[in-house]
Amino acid sequence: MKRFYFLLLACLALVSIEAQNVQLHYDFGSKMGDAHKGRPSLTTTIEQFRPDKWGNTFYFVDMDYQDSGIRSAYWEISRELRFWRAPLLLHLEYNGGLSNQFSYKDAYLFGATYAYHNKDYTFGINITPMYKYLAKQEYPHSAQLTAVWYWHFIEDAFTFNGFMDIWGDRNFEGKNMTVFLCEPQFWVNLNRFEGFSDKFNLSIGGEVEISYNFPVQNNKLHVIPTLAAKWTF
């Protein structure tokens, strides 16, 4: 899940085959102190990972909701290219979005991804160091390191996946600082259990957002859980 203030470069929920899913998250942040007062409780995420013979394309779109309607929308799209056999891919990415009060400044990223997957594609991890250009900011030049992982276990009945981003030089309120965001997710895939159809692609679970200076810039670590449902197409 990626919310309005998001982050990441990220290739959330990377899987080994073409897949698209829709997620609904209930966020407990607004109940966890004044630092998160007014934080939206509901977020929907649409994401897709599509491989092809030249590499892969990934995108996601997050929307946050308040009683009056959609508060903000954020999206990321990345393209990875490989014309060789080595596990290295060229990585291009764009991040941007808007809220009902302002727009998020564009971010453009360029780097290289090291990708590892086991033989049966039940486990994989990608690591991507990147140059990051923060458009229309006083200090536009930055760098970001992203890691993305997935693990399907116990005959694919459970999935543990997520991402980690760390970047710097972003100008928050006139200050430069290191920013960290990690969102591990855990899913129970119901179609792997007796009594459910193989085509009943509903997963239940949630995520934990672990952040430092994002979106609250107070040099403190914040841990916020969600409950969620996901349908994979």
**Terminal Cα-to-Cα distance of the chain (whole angstroms):** 17
- Give the per-residue pLDDT at 196: 96
pLDDT digits (tens, 9 = 90+) for 113-134: 999 999 999 999 999 999 999 8
Note the pTM of the prediction, 2 decimals.
0.86
The answer to whether the CB of 64 falls within 8 A of the CB of 42 is yes
- Give the per-residue pLDDT at 66: 86
- Give the per-residue pLDDT at 172: 56
d(CA 184, CA 161): 6
For tokens 């942040």, the residue is 29
Report residues of the chain scoring pLDDT below 50.
Answer: 1-17
- Give the per-residue pLDDT at 147: 98
The answer to whether the CB of 74 falls within 8 A of the CB of 102 is no
- Give the per-residue pLDDT at 186: 98
- How many Cα atoms within 13 Å fall on the side-chain side of residue 33? 6
Side chain identity at residue 138, one-letter code: E
- Give the per-residue pLDDT at 17: 43
Tokens of 156: 């694919």
- Give the per-residue pLDDT at 48: 96
- Give the per-residue pLDDT at 169: 66
The fraction of the chain above a pLDDT of 70, given in percent, is 89
d(CA 55, CA 80): 5
Q: What residue ranges define each of the domains in the chain, with the CATH number in brackets?
A: 19-232 (2.40.160.40)
